[in-house]
Amino acid sequence: MKKKEFIVNDLLSKIYQNYYSEGKLPTQRKLAEFYEVSRYTIQDAIVKLRDIGVIDVIQGSGIFIRKNVHQNPLIYNSITATPYSKISSKPIYLKKEEATEEDQRMFGIEEGEFIWKFQRIRIVNYQIVQIENSKLPYKLFPNLELRDISNSIQEYVQSENYVISHYITSYTPVLIDKEQAQLMACKKGLPAMKIQNRCLLRSGTVYEYSEVIALDYSCTYITPFNKQNHNQRKQ
């Protein structure tokens, strides 16, 4: 594990143990001395913690732990831990199709209604790291255009005055196939992660279903120990 990743995970562990009871991390200088690394390495670790929403850095005041961090499960991955400024999306296609029975069940729409289907590649630091195939119900987004999927879908959904609630996500290890290898300019057969997302509005409506194929994918999350579930699994 790289020094930066070790420091990030160690600080996360300390934060969730209430190690910093005053709600504030030591200075970067003190952290560098403690971990015996350069200030540059500490700066990188602090930036990552900031980007995943755990801390706030206030110039001249210090590094503060966000107040609600202990009440919320933490999850971040190799995309969500990357600033939006370093991520870009290139649309491959956007098309309108009649909803299948599966689409009707997923989005709660009627026979004869339509969905949007789109594909795009996602680029981080000038490297193609993901292929995304998504579906959205046409009736929620009748004015969706190709340029909209060049940017954040979440931003677009909110711009249409919808309130996003949560995501249901599953992960499956896969190998890159021939078509995916051509899109991502990589070798066929490379290990990757298939990420399936159901994205819900506050009303409970599914507004997007996506399947993402991701290279070099990593994910870190924290969950509380569930003693009751643990005991049930032993039966």
**pLDDT tens per residue, range 36-64:** 999 999 999 999 898 888 999 998 899 99
What is the chain's Cα-based Rg?
Answer: 21
- What integer is the mean pLDDT of 138-164? 96
Q: What is the pTM of this model?
A: 0.78
Q: 229 in a domain, yes or no?
A: no
Query: In this structure, are 63 and 131 located in the same domain?
Result: no
How many structural domains compose the chain?
2
Query: In this structure, are 11 and 95 located in the same domain?
Result: no
Q: 233 in a domain, yes or no?
A: no
Query: In this structure, are 23 and 115 located in the same domain?
Result: no
Q: In what order do the strands lie in the sheet with 62-65?
A: 24-25, 62-65, 55-58
Question: For residue range 29-38, what is the model confidence (pLDDT) as tens digits?
Answer: 999 999 999 9
Token pair in block for residue 234: 């032993």
Q: 226 in a domain, yes or no?
A: no
pLDDT of residue 5: 85
Type of residue numbered 23: G
| Helix (H) and strand (E) counts in the chain | 7, 11
Q: 125 in a domain, yes or no?
A: yes
Query: In this structure, are 63 and 91 located in the same domain?
Result: no
Query: In this structure, are 116 and 170 located in the same domain?
Result: yes
Q: 234 in a domain, yes or no?
A: no
pLDDT of residue 1: 63
Q: How far apart are CA 73 and CA 12, in angstroms?
A: 12
Query: In this structure, are 54 and 96 located in the same domain?
Result: no
Query: In this structure, are 65 and 105 located in the same domain?
Result: no
Share of the chain above pLDDT 70, in %: 98
Query: In this structure, are 209 and 122 located in the same domain?
Result: yes
Question: For residue range 74-123, what is the model confidence (pLDDT) as tens digits?
Answer: 777 777 777 777 889 999 999 999 999 999 999 999 999 999 999 999 99
Q: 34 in a domain, yes or no?
A: yes
Q: 225 in a domain, yes or no?
A: no
- As a dihedral over the C-alpha atoms of residue 103, residue 165, residue 54, residue 222, rounded to 10 degrees, the angle is -60
Query: In this structure, are 89 and 150 located in the same domain?
Result: yes
Domain span including residue 38: 3-71
Query: In this structure, are 202 and 105 located in the same domain?
Result: yes
Are the CB atoms for 220 and 210 separated by under 8 Å? no
Query: In this structure, are 155 and 64 located in the same domain?
Result: no
